[in-house]
């Protein structure tokens, strides 16, 4: 009788194991599925960096004839929803440096190429200026020079230096 009982236990144990595995397999099959398809994303477009007028600000390192590396204040505006790292600030080609209107009336910057201001800008490259997303930052660069060609009417003038700003997402 022991042999029969032992066999019955093995048969019952095997049946229970098969039943459990069958239920697990059924549950697995009932709750899993797979497939293929596509997801979509769209890139935005970068907006141009701009500058703000700082002509009314304070200048501590001012221009004088014969001196170089004087302050140029630039407020860089970033309208993009991501931070930008400015890598260069260069004088905009084909645009001249202009004196403020009062000094132009007095004779500063009235030549066709405005060379009588005597002001030049040294291009700034290799920069790493961070501008926050939808933010701005003001930088001062020692990049302006005034030659002895500057006329007397330029004394006290504030000069507008047209610049091009380049950078990349930061």
**Domain residue ranges in the chain:** 1-30, 50-169
**CATH number for the 50-169 domain, one of 1.20.930, 3.30.60, 2.60.40, 1.10.150?**
2.60.40
Q: How confident is the model at residue 81 (pLDDT cuts 50, 70, 90)?
A: very high
Q: What is the pLDDT of residue 112?
A: 76
- Tell me the per-residue pLDDT of 115-142, one tens digit each, with 9 for 90 and over: 889 999 999 999 999 999 999 999 999 9
Q: What is the DSSP string of the chain?
A: -HHHHHHHHHHHHHHHHHHHHHHHHHHHHHH--------------PPPPEEE--TTS--SS---TTEEEEEEEEEEE--SSS-EEEEEEEEPTT---EE-HHHHHTTTT-STT-GGG-EEE--EEEEEEEE-TT-EEEEEEEEEEE-TT--GGGTT--EE--EEEEEEE-
């Amino acid at each position: 009788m022991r042999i029969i009982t032992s066999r019955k236990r093995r048969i019952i144990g095997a049946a229970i194991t098969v039943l459990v595995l069958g239920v697990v397999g059924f549950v697995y099959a009932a709750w899993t599925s797979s497939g293929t398809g596509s997801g979509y994303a769209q890139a935005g477009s970068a907006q141009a960096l701009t500058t703000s007028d700082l002509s009314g600000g304070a200048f501590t390192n001012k221009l004088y004839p014969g001196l170089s590396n004087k302050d140029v204040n630039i407020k860089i505006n970033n309208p993009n929803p991501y931070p930008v790292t400015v890598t260069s600030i260069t004088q905009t080609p084909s645009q001249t440096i202009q004196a403020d209107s009062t000094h132009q009336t007095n004779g500063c910057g009235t030549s066709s190429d405005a060379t009588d201001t005597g002001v030049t800008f040294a291009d700034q490259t290799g920069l790493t200026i961070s501008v926050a997303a939808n933010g701005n930052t003001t930088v001062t660069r020692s990049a302006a020079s005034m030659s002895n060609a500057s006329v007397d009417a330029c004394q006290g003038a504030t000069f507008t230096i047209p610049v091009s700003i380049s950078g990349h997402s930061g």
